[in-house]
């Protein structure tokens, strides 16, 4: 829904539902989205965050009738698409995903062409006023991005996509924006690393010359076009796992002139002191189909683990006090999870800033982990769960807006 007064659109990511094929995604759209709208936005249009796997993109590109079905479904249900989750290229449900979620990465033509095709679909199915975003992976899994040649290759593909988006806007009037999402254990992991990448690889004369070559546009247009078409997803869960101060993250991005195209209200696991009791409880969150990257601070030293299971094994070898933050998206309406907490305070911090000066026109909750949540956290059905999250973000933002007004 449009929150009004420049505060942007708020919805939830359909990544929480089955969507590995277009048939799966269609069924999820029909089954769940109208029910969420009925409870959360009964009298006003509601935005949709569409999950499009490559299999869906292939089918939508090949079948105009499917694109027409999507447009009609949106109209009939008073819905509109304003963002696509194009982070997972392949399957994301019902199988082990782990680090495969980053594949194919941005060094490949597969990832590049997939993203380009999504932009073409968005230009056809969205209203020209929406300026839809494409949420994408953070370039590459960090252990793979070890050479300058590898980095140059994914940078070049980003330049190609920016050029396409510039040409697409010139040709159709539709501005589609690419939003790269930093994540633990990826090439873009921390906000300082992300700022560094933009400064040294995107906001440069070399980048502008490459984009100008692909787009055919003059350099002056390219310099402004880059900022119109490339920004980031600020996922509060991911940056909280890094022990980052969200307010400081926002300051760094603002000072560097990097647009936040999507603000994702998501919460991670927060353990301020690891104990045997807590380790036993945390085992309920480990061993799922997804990575649960964990950052540890012990005696002032930071250590990163690819998965929660690894952190637990190391603790069992050498128990002792330490702090953990774990990448496991948990319901944003919960602050306490029994013996430990969530990083929801980071969401509240971001909304406090957003209430004063809007950070993004696209707000989204993305607790995609419904199918692997411990059973005691599954309150009601999936629709009720999603609505409670949306209501929390809306109500917290309204509270912050009122405080600013006073």
Nearest to 365 by CA among 262, 285, 244: 262
As given in the structure block, the two tokens for residue 282 are 């945390």
DSSP code, position 186: B
Q: Report pLDDT for 214.
A: 98
Inter-residue contact 266 to 343 (CB < 8 Å): no
Q: Report pLDDT for 378.
A: 86
Burial group, residue 401, by CB count within 10 angstroms (0-12, 13-18, 19+): middle
Residue 338: count of CB within 10 angstroms of its CB: 12
Helical spans, DSSP H, in 109-179: 109-125, 148-172
Nearest to 397 by CA among 222, 203, 265, 275: 265
Q: Domain limits of the chain?
A: 9-267+343-405
Q: What is the mean pLDDT of each run of 10 residues along the chain (406 residues)?
A: 93 98 98 98 97 98 98 97 97 96 98 98 94 98 97 98 98 97 98 98 98 97 97 98 98 98 98 96 96 97 98 96 97 94 98 97 95 88 96 97 89
Strand, helix or coil for residue 131: coil
Q: Report pLDDT for 406.
A: 79
Tokens 């979620």 sit on residue: 101
Taking the C-alpha atoms of residue 302 and residue 289, their distance in angstroms, rounded to an integer, is 26
Dihedral over Cα of 177, 132, 30, 364: its sign: positive
As given in the structure block, the two tokens for residue 15 are 């990544």
Q: Where are the beta strands (DSSP E) in 38-139?
A: 46-51, 79-85, 133-136
**May I ask the CATH architecture of the domain 9-267+343-405?**
Alpha-Beta Barrel (3.20)
Angle between helices 382-405 and 22-40 (to 10 degrees): 50
Tokens 């490949």 sit on residue: 108
Rounded to two decimals, what is the model's pTM? 0.97
**Dihedral pair phi/psi, residue 244, rounded to 5°:** -85, 150
Nearest to 371 by CA among 257, 313, 290: 290
């Amino acid at each position: 829904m449009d929150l009004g007064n420049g505060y942007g659109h708020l919805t939830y990511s359909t990544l929480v539902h089955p969507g590995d094929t277009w048939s799966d995604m269609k069924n999820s759209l029909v089954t769940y989205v109208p029910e969420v709208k009925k409870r959360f936005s009964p009298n006003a249009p509601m935005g949709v965050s569409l999950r499009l796997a490559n299999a869906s993109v292939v089918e939508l590109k090949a079948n105009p009738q499917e694109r027409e079905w999507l447009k009609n479904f949106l109209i009939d249900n008073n819905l509109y698409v304003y963002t696509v989750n194009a982070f997972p290229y392949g399957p994301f449900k019902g199988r082990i995903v782990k680090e495969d979620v980053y594949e194919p990465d941005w060094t490949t033509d597969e990832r590049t062409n997939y993203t380009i095709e999504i932009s073409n679909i968005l230009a056809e199915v969205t209203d020209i006023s929406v300026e839809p975003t494409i949420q994408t992976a953070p370039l590459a899994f960090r252990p793979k991005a070890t050479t300058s040649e590898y980095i140059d290759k994914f940078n070049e593909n980003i330049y190609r996509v920016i050029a396409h988006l510039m040409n697409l806007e010139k040709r159709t009037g539709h501005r589609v924006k690419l939003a790269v999402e930093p994540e633990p254990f990826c090439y873009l992991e921390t906000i300082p690393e992300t700022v560094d990448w933009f400064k040294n690889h995107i906001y440069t004369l070399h980048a502008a010359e490459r984009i100008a070559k692909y787009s055919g546009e003059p350099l002056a247009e390219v310099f402004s076009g880059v900022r119109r078409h490339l920004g980031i997803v600020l996922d509060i869960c991911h940056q909280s796992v890094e022990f980052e101060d969200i307010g400081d993250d926002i300051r760094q991005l603002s000072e560097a002139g990097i647009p936040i195209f999507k603000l994702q209200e998501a919460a991670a696991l927060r353990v301020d002191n690891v104990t045997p009791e807590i380790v036993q409880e945390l085992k309920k969150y480990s061993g799922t189909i997804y990575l649960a990257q964990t950052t540890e601070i012990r005696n002032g030293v930071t250590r990163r683990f690819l998965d929660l299971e690894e952190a637990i094994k190391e603790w069992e070898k050498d128990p002792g006090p330490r702090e953990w933050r774990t990448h496991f998206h948990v319901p944003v309406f919960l602050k306490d999870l029994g013996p430990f907490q969530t990083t929801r305070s980071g969401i509240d911090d971001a909304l406090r800033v957003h209430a004063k000066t809007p950070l993004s026109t696209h707000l989204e909750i993305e607790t995609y982990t419904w199918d692997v949540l411990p059973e005691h956290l599954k309150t009601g059905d999936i629709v009720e769960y999603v609505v409670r999250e949306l209501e929390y973000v809306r109500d917290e933002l309204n509270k912050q807006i009122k405080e600013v007004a006073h």
